[in-house]
Amino acid sequence: MPQQDSYSSSSRPLEALAGGRLTIDLDAIATNWRTLSEHLRDGTECAATVKANAYGTGLCETAERLSQEGCRTFFVALPQEALHLRETLPDATIYVLDGLFPGTAATYAAANLRPVLNSVPEIEEWSAYCRAGNKPLAAAIHIDTGMNRLGLMPDMFAQVMADDYLTGAFTPCLFVSHLACGSTPDHPLNQIQLDTFRAATAEFPEIPKSLANSAGVFLGPDYHFDIARPGISLYGGKALDPGTNPMVPVVKVEARILMVRDVAENQKIGYGGAKTATKPMRLAIVAAGYADGFLRRAGSSDKNPGGFGWLDGHRVPIVGRISMDMMALDVTDVPETVARHGVFVELLGPNVAASDLAIYAETIDYEYLTGLGRRFHRRYGTLGLRQDGT
């Protein structure tokens, strides 16, 4: 059963009534999963991280397509997500990264979910539940190797693993850690975390291990271990800061032009008059704003450039602040027959990468993908090529 949002499947607006449309290419996600799998060393399983509604692409729809492609293991953040996913994939291995919530062990067990145990209290509760039912259920254990977020510090992990009363009642099936600086390949913390993870788990060669997120896949085979769990790269995002992005885009957002207007030189544009027209301009006002996930920080001012859209081969810059429901685009150089009322402008997709927009908004492409609004008409299909033919 697909995960529901504020519009039920029967009440989501038709495309004709929506300000924008969001196209999701499930085959492109599958292509990215195959690309990531091919980067892994022999013997490493390629799982999929599908938390946050599969980075905005639809949890169950995306996971089902990946399962068809051969993916067998999935990581989510919350037990709610895991329960939705279990309805769609009854036989998949599902890990819950946020761990075991108090008093919920029976729910995890009934749905065959594997908590990633992040603390001693979680381990104690899972162990007690398994002991009471005399069932050594599977769970992962998270080791904090330098992120200082979730997980056991290496010395505590060693104590826990030496305590048969704690770990003897359940089956530790996976050791997990998370790279803090993987997107920066030369960052010294990557090697420190790798060495710490190896040292902490060396006594348990029989238990599978997972360190590589999307960035870890591209850091090389030393980081791959037994299971890689890519996220952002599946959805076309850029895992490493330097270099080009080998992944194909998977989403396309287009917004409807509400009005095309002429603006005289020296006129102020948008809230706060942040942008001044330096020449006579034509602006297209489009029906997408920060309520739809287009971050206000990506707007432009007289001091700073902003993001951009794409219209029939033309890069059209954002002019002024992004409002809740709309933004202005500079279509001065676009033929009037093209930039007209009702036409859709690409705001994210093959010609406008989320990683490019993220630069203007001083953020990362994760925020764009996971924050795409719910007012768009959502559809699944093929994105097509960039307008330069690639």
d(CA 82, CA 86): 6
Sign of the dihedral defined by the CA atoms of residues 354, 355, 359, 361, in that order: positive
* 211 and 268 both lie in a single domain: no
One domain, residues 214 and 349: no
With respect to residue 138, please indicate whether it lies within any of the assigned structural domains: yes
Share of the chain above pLDDT 70, in %: 95
CA distances from 178 to 71, 149, 193, 238 (A): 21, 9, 8, 18
156, part of any domain: yes
258 and 230 within one domain: no
Active-site positions read: 51, 271
Helices 59-69, 79-88: crossing angle, 10 deg rounding = 50
Domain boundary among 235, 263, 280: 235
338-385 residue pLDDT tens: 999 999 999 999 999 988 888 999 998 888 888 887 789 999 999 865
Which of left, alpha, beta for 335 (phi over 0: left; psi -120 to 50: alpha)?
Answer: beta
CA–CA separation, 82 and 189 (whole Å):
31
**The tokens of 4 are what?**
């529901």
Residues 162 and 41 in one domain: yes
Position 353 in a domain: yes
What is d(CA 237, CA 215) in angstroms, rounded to the nearest whole number? 11
pLDDT digits (tens, 9 = 90+) for 89-134: 999 999 999 999 999 999 999 999 999 999 999 999 999 999 999 9
Q: How far apart are CA 306 and CA 361, in angstroms?
A: 8
Cα–chain-centroid distance for residue 130? Answer: 33
Asked if residue 7 has pLDDT above 50, the reply is no
Over residues 256-262, mean pLDDT: 97
Residues 251 and 235: beta-carbon distance below 8 Å: yes
The last residue of one of the domains, among 235, 269, 285, is: 235
* Phi, psi of 173, rounded to the nearest 5 degrees: -105, -10
Place of tokens 């005399």: 134
- The domain tally of the chain equals 2
Whether the CB-CB separation of 377 and 12 falls below 8 Å is answered with yes
Q: Residue 309 in 3-state DSSP?
A: strand
Q: With bands split at pLDDT 50, 70 and 90, how would you rate the model's confidence at 11?
A: very low
- pTM listed for this prediction: 0.91
Provide the CATH number for the domain around residue 123.
3.20.20.10
The answer on 205 and 63 residing in a single domain is yes
Please tell me whether residues 190 and 53 are part of one structural domain. yes
Q: Which residue has the tokens 């590589």?
A: 212
Nearest to 98, CA basis, from 108, 90, 106: 108
Do 129 and 51 lie in one domain? The reply is yes
Q: State whether 352 and 328 are in the same domain.
A: yes
Contact 271, 320 (CB under 8 A): yes
Domain that holds residue 101: 26-235
User: What SS3 class is residue 315?
Assistant: strand
CB 49 within 8 A of CB 234: yes
Contacts (Cβ under 8 Å, ≥6 apart) of 147? 177, 178, 179, 180, 193
Pair 81, 218 in one domain: yes
| Residue 349 and residue 261 share a domain | yes
The verdict on 64 and 106 lying in the same domain is: yes
